[in-house]
Structure 1
Amino acid sequence: MILAAPLAGCAYNADLGRDQLLIVQDSGLAAQGEKAWTQTLRAGRLSQDERKNARVRAVGGRVVTAAGLNNRPWDYAVLIDEAPNAFVLPGGHVGVTVGLLDLVENDDQLAAVIGHEAGHVVAQHAAERYSQTMTTKLLLGVAGAAAGTSTDLGRGLKSYGDDASQYLFLLPFSRKHELEADRLGVDYMQRAGYRPREAVTLWRKMKAQAGGSGKPEIASTHPSDASRIAALEAYISSKGW
């Protein structure tokens, strides 16, 4: 019964072309998203630069419409943070840092970032990630209980089960999520009238700025910059863009 339970949560996502394990929907995470957004607005320093805010709203509105997500209100905030970053929260919230706005050379590159974040929403990656984490913990708990805490297997599952699940399952899926969001993002860029190849230019800039963290890809939630650039170039070329 335990092994069959996750299968009951599988659903086909046409945008991704694959099945997803979803024991919760994005709507089920909306409350947490709203809480996190409220905390971000309270704790984060918000830029009052109207030009920056208007730029993010304008580009974001075009990309969100292209992604088919304009059936809900969206909130955008520009955060005073020099690190180039952006994020999306369940419930329709997007944050962009001034560091990212300083890094991008044009609206096409900004659209690449917002398109990527919209891709996470369409793909229900937050819900899938939550579902994967909860299911993995459930299965490890059941396996550990079945093995017994007095056995070597039981002690091993208790000591190393979480680490093993991270490296063998959760981190690879997280990296897959990022590449899927990249692919969906350039689709939305193109529909919105932006140049998809600027997504590659952006990631090359990000790679140059980072200078290489030295962290192996296998131990990271994100693919390496080189992997991301190669995947984007291959996909954009396959589309003739």
Structure 2
Amino acid sequence: MTLALGRLLSPVLALCGLLAGCGTTYDMPGVDKAATNRAGILFAQAQVAPPRSPASARTGEERFNRVARRVQPVAEQLCRQELAPSKQVDCAVALELDRTMAERNAYFTYAKPGNKAPVIRLTVPMLQDVESDDEVAFILGHEYGHLIGQHIAKQQQQAMAGALILGAITAYGNAQAAAAGQSHDPNAISRSVELGAAVGQVAYSQTYELESDMLGTRIAAAAGYDPVKGAQFFARSESTRSKAGQLSFWGTHPPDSKRLAMVIATMAEIEGKQALARK
């Protein structure tokens, strides 16, 4: 390895370490065969469930407000418990209806730059499609999981690391080509930076979703809901969902059966701890 290459790769390797450190915050419950089998059964049952007509927008809004009143204080308490004040995380999340999006969706975002003013929004078509308060509770808990897991901040770090890694590698390649008198693409670095940022941002997307499922299970259960019943919303096939809008929730999400198995495993862990506490 030349000295120049070593100097280049040192920060690149450091950034790779940063990217690798952007995984989950929590140890995930082990998903055993029993959880996988039960998830498969529930998933199959949900897929063959008869179609249902969507609820009215008013019914969906009433359900949202009813569930939000119970879930919000539980989720905020967990957020404050899990995130030290030194991390400067705002746990006072605004729960809002998105009346503009025609798709089924639920999402966590920030209303102000700098990761300020956290917001969870559910679209009206999503609320028209749910079948129970348990489903809304799990959806809200899942979105809170993104805040508690600090997934947006981690994805921002990943995007920066990915951009710098690929940009540095491409710059080195261009320099080597120029030294050898070979032609090179002057726009290659900017394209590599964009590609690296995109790859970095989605590097742990599926892992974050599973972590949010685990945290959402804890929140929904603590609020008095059934997370396993709630998570079955995601197992219903497209053919059995109402046509109030197209589902836009799963672009970077793990397979639904795997997610349901994670919820089942998390509930088994919760119930196991509760049983020990009663002894």
Q: TM-score, normalised by structure 2?
A: 0.58
Aligned counterparts of 1:230 and 1:127: Cα–Cα separation in 2 = 27
Aligned 1:152-231 pairs, distance under 5 A = 170-205=201-236, 208-209=240-241, 220-231=251-262
Q: Which has the higher contact order (CA 8 A, sep 6+)?
A: 2
**Whole-Å Cα distance in 2 between the matches of residues 210 and 222 of structure 1?**
21
Q: 1:111 aligns with which of 127, 137, 146?
A: 137
Query: Larger deviation: 189-198 or 63-72?
Result: 63-72
1:9 deviates by: 8.9
Identify if the C-alpha distance between structure 1 residues 188 and 57 changes in structure 2 by more than 3 Å, giving closer, same or farther: closer
Amino acid in structure 2 at the alignment position of 1:178:
E
- Report the TM-score when normalising by structure 1: 0.66
Give 2:76's aligned residue. 65
Partner secondary structure for residue 197 of structure 1: helix
| Counterparts of 1:105 and 1:50, CA distance in 2 | 13
> In the alignment, which residue of structure 1 is the partner of 2:148?
122
Cα distance in 1 between the residues matched to 2:122 and 2:236: 17
Shift of 1:173: 0.8
Would you say the 8 A contact 2:96–2:122 is kept in 1? yes
Q: How far apart are residue 14 of structure 1 and its match?
A: 8.9
CA RMSD, 1 decimal: 4.1
Structure 2 residue 119 is matched with structure 1 residue 93: yes
Partner deviation per Cα, 1:104-127 (whole Å, 9 max, x = no partner):
222221110110111000111001
Aligned pairs, how many? 206
Q: Per-residue deviation at 1:52?
A: 5.4
Sequence identity of aligned pairs in percent? 23
Unaligned runs of 5+ in 1: 19-46
Instruction: Report if the CA contact (8 A) 2:164-2:193 is conserved.
Output: no
